[in-house]
A = this chain, B = another copy of it.
Amino acid sequence: MNETIELMMRHRSVRKFKPDPVSEEQLAAIVAAGQMASSSSNVQAYSVIAVTDQEQKAKLAELAGGQAYVNECPVFLVWCADLYRLKDAAARHLPEKESYADSTENFMVATIDAALASQNAALAAESLGFGIVYIGGIRTRIEEVATLLQLPDGVYPVYGMCIGVADQETGIRPRLPLKAVLHHNHYQPAQTLEGVQEYDVTTTEYLKERTHGERATPWSELMAKRLTEPARMQVRAFLERRGFLKR
């Protein structure tokens, strides 16, 4: 294959970090690589907050549900969907016109822009020898995270990302078989569910091996539990308060 695809195929989340720093130059290179991802009509509707301040990181670790690695990694990035610059531009150039920053479409554009940039940045960090892990946990207490980071209206924290030198060796988690996610010309429900059946076998084996026989729940059972538990139900009201998703 090639270096880039090989890098992707080696990806696993890292949750234990050495204290070695990420230099300001490395951080700049990582974020600049993130910026090169595509953006809807070049709106670049995202920002990233690099948290290195120890106190700030400790608070975020707690807000994310007590995840120690958020505190231990040298840089914790908070990827934000950001319509602040666009709202400012509209207010300056077209103050008499109504803004559609609160539409579902613009919520999606900003969220996706943040996601594409962050994935480039994740790979850039890995290509420089660092390990990373995405932290969706910051959405659990999203309002407190937004306040702590002083996010203005039109900006919300999508997720965090720990970056640092890995201090653990973990296995690569098997993915769904290709046929479960890749369809040809139209959606194939039977094929995707067949893929899930196969994956249930794979994941049961994988979990059993990884936990020395202690856990062996097939993936679809874990997913059933996950989908039937209310999670982060306060996110919607928070987003609306910050000017998102109103129509």
Q: Which residues of A contact B (CB under 8 A)?
A: 1-5, 7-9, 11, 13, 27-29, 31-33, 35-38, 40-44, 46-53, 56, 80, 82-90, 92-94, 97-101, 103-106, 108-109, 111-112, 115-120, 122-124, 127-128, 133-134, 136, 139, 148-152, 155, 158-159, 173, 175-176, 178, 180-187, 189, 192-193, 196, 219-233, 235-236, 239, 245, 247
With A31-B182, A37-B119 known, 4 other A-B pairs at CB within 8 A are A8-B36, A44-B181, A47-B182, A105-B139
Alpha-carbon distance A127/B2, docked complex (angstroms): 7
- Using A85-B192, A111-B112 as known contacts, say yes or no to A93 and B183 having CB atoms under 8 A apart: no
CB distance from A27 to the nearest CB of B (A): 8
Q: How far is the CB of A240 from chain B (nearest CB, A)?
A: 9
Contacts of A236 in B (CB 8 A): 103-104, 247
Flag if B50 contacts A181 (CB, 8 Å): no
**A36 B49 Cβ-Cβ under 8 A:** no
A224 close to B94 (CB less than 8 A): yes
Kindly report which residue of chain B lies nearest to residue A120, judged by CB atoms.
Answer: B8
CB–CB A186/B56 < 8 A: yes
- Given known A-B contacts A105-B139, A193-B88, A229 and B4 have beta carbons under 8 A apart: no
A151 proximity list for chain B (CB < 8 A): 187
Q: List 19 A-B contacts (CB under 8 A).
A: A3-B3, A11-B36, A11-B37, A32-B175, A49-B185, A49-B186, A52-B184, A82-B181, A84-B192, A85-B193, A88-B193, A89-B220, A94-B228, A99-B227, A103-B233, A106-B227, A115-B116, A149-B187, A155-B187
User: For A103, what are the chain B residues with a Cβ–Cβ distance below 8 Å?
Assistant: 230-233, 235-236
Chain B residues near A92 (CB, 8 Å)?
Answer: 220, 224
Give the chain B neighbours of A97 by CB distance below 8 A: 228
Cross-chain contact A100 with B229 (CB below 8 angstroms):
yes
Cross-chain contact of A50 among B29, B183, B228, B239 (Cβ < 8 A)? B183
- Complex alpha-carbon distance, A244 and B136, angstroms: 19
Contact A184 B40 (CB under 8 A): no
CB contacts (< 8 Å) of A247 on chain B: these are 233, 236
Quick check: A46 and B123 within 8 Å, CB to CB? no
